[in-house]
Structures are given as C-alpha cells and as structure tokens.
Amino acid sequence: MTGLYIGSTAGFAGKNLMVMALGLQLQKEGYTVGYMRPVGTSPAQKGDKMGDEDAFFVQEVLGLDEDPELVSPVVATHDLQMQVFSEGCPDLMGRIVEAYNTLSKDKDVMLVCGAGSFLHAGKYCNVAGVDVAQALGNKVLLVDRFFKEFSYDYLISAKEQLGEDLIGAVLNSVPESRMETVESMIHPLLERRGIKILGTAPEDSLLNAIRIGDLAKRLGGKIITAPEKSDVVAESFLIGTMQVENFMTHFRKKPNSAVIVGGDRSDLQLVALEGKCPCLILTGNLYPNDIILTRSEDLEVPIIMVRDDTYSVAKKMERILESIKLRDRIKINHGAKLINSLLDWSTLKQSLGLA
C-alpha cells in the first residue's frame, strides 16, 4: 500500500477535484483506492455519525462507503475547538493514524486530502497537513491555485520541510494571459529549487461557474423574476457602472457573466437582458421598473435583488467564485478529464511505486 497526501498552499485551491480525478483514474486502471480526509472542516451528520461534508461527497463520487468517523476522525466542531482552547489538545494525531491504518487495509493506494493550507491549517491542535502527512508516511502532492499570483515561497518552504517526500506541485487555474510567463519563468524557478511541476491547469470557466439559485442564496438576495431558470449558470460577472457603449464592449467579450448593476440603471439593465446574460443582480434593494420586469420574464432571464451596494456585491462575488465547491457531476467529469490530460502520471506513479 502506498499513500499520497494532497495538500495546497491555501484553501479552495482544487484539492477535492484533484483527489476525485486521481481516484477515478486509478480505479479505472484497476487499483483499489482508499480515501481519507483526516481533518474535516465542514461538520455534517450522516445517520448517527459525524463526518465532513466534502468527505461524504468525495466518497460518493469514488463509490466508497467507509465509516465517516474513520474517513474524518477529526472534525473541527465548535465543541472540539472549545476543548482545545480551554483544556489543551487531545491526542488527535493518534486518532488519525489509527483510522488510517484501518482504512488502508487491502488498498493499493490511499488518497489523503488536506484541509486549508498544508503548512498552517490545524497547527493550533497539532494536526497541520505537514504533520499529518509525515505521521502517516505519505508522499505529498501540493496544489497551488493562481490567486492574483502564485505562492512560490510557500512551495519552497514545503520542499525544505519535506525533502524527497514532496513529489511535486500542480499549478491550478492559470489565466491564459499568464501561461507563457508561468511556463518560461515560474517552472524553471521552482524546478531549480527541486520542486517538480506535475501539471499546469488553465483557468476554466465551467469549473468556476455557479447556478443562479445558489448565487442568490450566497448573496443573501431574492430571485424576483424567472425563478424556473435558477439552474442556469453564470461563469463570471460584470459590474454595470459605466456608460452603455463601454458596457456593451465588455459584455460582448464575457457574454455568460452575471451583471451587477444598480437598481436605478434601467439603461444597462435592458442592454444586459437583451444580450441574454444569465442573470441580473440589482443592488441597493431597488425594485426594477415594469419594462425591465416584463422583459426579464419574456426573455426568461432571472433578476436577483440584493440590499448591498454595487461595490460590496462585487467583492462578495469575487469571494464566491473563488470558493465554489464542486457538487455537479458534469463539472467533476470535465475537471477530472482536464487534470488527467495534463498531469505527469509517469512521475507520479513512479514516485508512489506504482510504475
């Protein structure tokens, strides 16, 4: 049995998708795959068992049905946090190792998924990813997602701590405009520091898309027209604070974008509706006029009304689109296919003793 810990430089970097992509491919090749999320950060109940919401979903995708209390032996509930803060940390690592030993029986490969950032998350109770991976004797694959820049220093620090146990890194969600720089400058920099780049995934609009119904909930808004279209997805967003002519230029370049616009800007609202945007997000808790309401219903474009101002909604949208959890099988299949097409499987399998 061999174990691979999938960690990341920050939260929402793509660890779950990486685990699902690896697991599905290894199963397809005939390997018996086990899965574990040692530290669960999204407490969820299944029957009389406490587990982690992400872990439940990943198990379902991989066709596994292990005891939730083994898959996520540590769940960051409020009670656990209060115990750690007031009494000190119990032997959580011992609990993790024991569960891992049980789950890994009769498995060819164990995929262990981290939570939050690999070096830091969980440090307050001695279960940071780096400590867990070393306690389990796992090799490590790190995912570094492009959030305005890459975490070069973080990857180098991880390499210094892990040495040969760090198989390499995958650079995720790289904008097309940065791809040449990544390949010509960042790859060589990291390779010189002994960090193998096992894949570079381009930014993908489908993976970042969100259903309109989910978007309304996350924004604390209400869908006031065309609610039957709440399953339509938006891939990005545009802010309607400019003149109509300038807005049309930007909108043509990003047609599948939710449009955030003040409730009093009926000119931009109408342009967005006629352009068949996935939805309008009206800010300031201002109700649209009858022309906009009628046209929205005719074109079946939902309108979400929110209380916040345009700037606040735009900042929320940035955070939402950066932290979308994959729960759609179409997205998962698409993402898994993308990862498997770019991943250096030869190096990965050789490092895990599978080649």
- In percent, the amount of the chain with pLDDT more than 70 equals 98
* pLDDT score for 327: 67
* pLDDT score for 265: 86
pTM over 0.85: no
- In percent, the amount of the chain with pLDDT more than 90 equals 61
For 244-253, write each residue's pLDDT tens digit.
777 777 777 7
* pLDDT score for 242: 67
Any residues with CB less than 8 A from the CB of 1 and at least 6 apart, and which? 104, 107, 108, 109, 110
Is the model's pLDDT at 325 over the cut of 70? no
Rounded to the nearest integer, the mean pLDDT of the chain is: 90
Any residues with CB less than 8 A from the CB of 78 and at least 6 apart, and which? none
User: What stretches of the chain adopt beta strand conformation (E)?
Assistant: 2-8, 33-36, 39-40, 43-46, 49-52, 74-75, 109-113, 139-145, 166-174, 197-202, 210-211, 222-225, 233-234, 236-240, 257-262, 280-283, 303-305
* pLDDT score for 3: 97
CA 247 to chain CA centroid, nearest Å: 30
- Residue range 65-82: mean pLDDT, rounded: 92
Q: Which of 103-107, 271-275, 278-282 has the lowest mean pLDDT?
A: 271-275
| 218: Cα within 13 Å, side-chain hemisphere | 20
For 89-107, write each residue's pLDDT tens digit.
889 999 999 999 999 999 9
Is the model's pLDDT at 305 over the cut of 90? yes
* pLDDT score for 339: 94
Report the alpha-carbon distance of residue 308 to residue 149 in Å, rounded: 29
CA-to-CA separations, 219 to 56, 158, 290, 320, in angstroms, rounded: 26, 36, 24, 9
Q: Which of 143-152, 161-170, 240-249, 307-316 has the lowest mean pLDDT?
A: 240-249
* pLDDT score for 298: 93
* pLDDT score for 326: 62
* pLDDT score for 347: 96
Residue 30, token pair as written in the block? 């005939």
Report the alpha-carbon distance of residue 60 to residue 55 in Å, rounded: 9
Q: How confident is the model at residue 324 (pLDDT cuts 50, 70, 90)?
A: low
Report the alpha-carbon distance of residue 90 to residue 78 in Å, rounded: 15
Report the alpha-carbon distance of residue 198 to residue 186 in Å, rounded: 13
- Residue range 20-37: mean pLDDT, rounded: 97
Report the alpha-carbon distance of residue 11 to residue 172 in Å, rounded: 13
For 154-180, write each residue's pLDDT tens digit.
999 999 999 999 999 999 999 888 999
Q: Which of 2-11, 47-56, 104-113, 313-322 has the lowest mean pLDDT?
A: 313-322
Q: Which of 58-72, 132-146, 231-245 has the lowest mean pLDDT?
A: 231-245
Domains in the chain, ordered, with CATH? 2-204+325-351 (3.40.50.300), 210-322 (3.40.1390.20)
Is the model's pLDDT at 134 over the cut of 90? yes
Is the model's pLDDT at 85 over the cut of 90? no
For 185-221, write each residue's pLDDT tens digit.
999 999 999 999 999 999 887 777 888 998 999 999 9
